[in-house]
Structure 1
Amino acid sequence: MKRSGPLLTLLAGLLLALFMLSLNATTGTRTTSTGSDAPAEVLTASPVPSGKATGTAAPGEASPSPAPSRSAVADADYAGRTDDDSSAVAVTLRDGKAIAYFCDGRDQESWLKGDVGTDGRMRLTNQQGQVLDGRLSGKRISGTVDMGRRTYGFTADKAVKPSGLYRATATVRGAEVDGGWIVLPGGRQVGILKRDGTAGPAPRIDPETGAVTVDGKRLTAEPVTP
């Protein structure tokens, strides 16, 4: 009977150890419990497909921006005089491009062309190095024409047909004929006609039809567009 004491003590120790192991295993499975037997809800983020808008740009990518819109200058014709009243200037605008004609009605002329900016500014040139710098503001173009030996200031107001810029080219009696005309508001005309490169005053055209007679031959001067 004296030997049963240690055995009982050993048995009690084993039972206590088993109880503690069982308790640790049970509490270990519930360390992430939210206070109920249901497992805690885990939230995961869904991946965003490449190229989809998320409100911010992806690393290394610039935020997309809308393409700037070009506000085209309205198509129109302009005609006027130089500041010293010695010559005339006409400008025709079409689809953001311009062609201009400077003419003194005697022997000096210049055809120029170029683009028109969205702000109405233009710099028109030719192969001879002559330059027209102008700006459209409201219903008027103002600026300068650099003819090389001299620069002329000018103002050209919006023209209503038949005012505007006209040109006719043809072969008349074996000569190459090239004429340019500016019909100013009020009907006044300024033009130069070249025969094989020799310049002189141009005959009047019919502003309604463009008809003109050159050395006995009837020609038609057409409105000029870029």
Structure 2
Amino acid sequence: MKRTPVLTLLAGLAVAAVLLVMSAIAANKPADDKVTAANELPASTAAPAPTLSPTPPPTQAPAKVNATWAGVVDGGAATIAIAVKDGVAVAYLCDGKKIEAWLQGTAAAGKLSLTGKNGATLTGTFGGGKATGKIVASGKSWTFTAPTAQPPGGLYRAAQFVNSANVVCGWIVLADGTQVGVCTPDGKEPEPAPRLDVTAARPINPQDPT
């Protein structure tokens, strides 16, 4: 069949259209590949927020002890008194005749720990309105439970010169008003102490017992 100019023109236009479509497809393909590649990337995961540990509350120092206990040792052979100020403790054991012992130490966290001359020791606990423990002095030992002393009950001490000799006296005043004490002159044996006027005397200061 003989081609006419019109057919030739139409055929040329058809070929041009096909080439144009193929060119557009080729131009769009890299973009599609990029989109596909981007879609294939794993999604980024946000880092979790750090967990903060709670700050512990500040530790409070234990309260300092201020108390006085006085009573009779188990068996009734002697009396004992323990006075404490700001955790500083002084104890006195006395039978009102010949035996006496002064001890110093501490009272903290419910525990008593005191020492004195010639190996005297006192160990014990306190709480609930009483002190309990064991005291060793003058080659003997006693156990005790002493209740809290209310004024004028408690522990008293006095030192003065009498006839050129230094005399140290100690008194334990119990809840019923009973007084037990001895006086010891330098270089001599203890002897019973005179009755103390508690209205004029001051209880011992454990921080300055002299």
Is the aligned partner of 1:125 residue 2:105?
A: no
Alignment of 1:49-128 (within 5 A): 54=51, 56-57=52-53, 64-72=55-63, 75-118=66-109, 120-128=110-118
**In structure 2, what is the Cα distance between the partners aligned to 1:111 and 1:19?**
111
Larger radius of gyration: 2
**In structure 2, what is the Cα distance between the partners aligned to 1:148 and 1:20?**
115
Is the aligned partner of 1:225 residue 2:185?
A: no
Long gaps (5+) in structure 2: 1-14
1:169-189 Cα deviation digits (max 9, x unpaired): 223332122111111121111
**In structure 2, what is the Cα distance between the partners aligned to 1:68 and 1:14?**
84
SS where residue 119 of structure 2 aligns?
coil
1:126-181 Cα deviation digits (max 9, x unpaired): 24321112222322212211126211112211111111101112233321221111
1:66-119 Cα deviation digits (max 9, x unpaired): 34445536522211111121211001122233221111222221112222232x
| TM-score of the superposed pair, with normalisation by structure 1 | 0.68
**In structure 2, what is the Cα distance between the partners aligned to 1:157 and 1:113?**
19
Q: Residue 25 of structure 1: which of 21, 31, 41 is its match?
A: 31
Change beyond 3 A, Cα 1:165–1:14 = same
- Counterpart for residue 133 of structure 2: 143
Change beyond 3 A, Cα 1:31–1:225 = farther
Change beyond 3 A, Cα 1:147–1:46 = same
SS where residue 25 of structure 1 aligns?
helix
Change beyond 3 A, Cα 1:172–1:23 = same
The alignment yields a C-alpha RMSD, in angstroms, of: 3.6
SS where residue 29 of structure 2 aligns?
helix
Contact 1:106 1:199 in 2 (8 A): no
Alignment of 1:184-203 (within 5 A): 184-201=174-191, 202-203=193-194
Contact 2:88 2:105 in 1 (8 A): yes
CA drift of 1:209 comes to 0.8
Identity over the aligned pairs, expressed in percent? Answer: 33
Long gaps (5+) in structure 1: 1-8, 34-40, 49-53, 58-62, 211-221
Contact 1:181 1:191 in 2 (8 A): yes
Change beyond 3 A, Cα 1:206–1:200 = same
Change beyond 3 A, Cα 1:16–1:127 = farther
Is the aligned partner of 1:207 residue 2:198?
A: yes
Alignment of 1:8-47 (within 5 A): 16=22, 19-25=25-31, 27-29=33-35, 32=38
| TM-score of the superposed pair, with normalisation by structure 2 | 0.73
Aligned length: 192
**In structure 2, what is the Cα distance between the partners aligned to 1:128 and 1:68?**
39
Is the aligned partner of 1:178 residue 2:168?
A: yes
Moved over 6 A (4+): 12-15
1:181-216 Cα deviation digits (max 9, x unpaired): 111121111112121142322222101112xxxxxx
SS where residue 205 of structure 1 aligns?
coil
Contact 1:192 1:199 in 2 (8 A): no
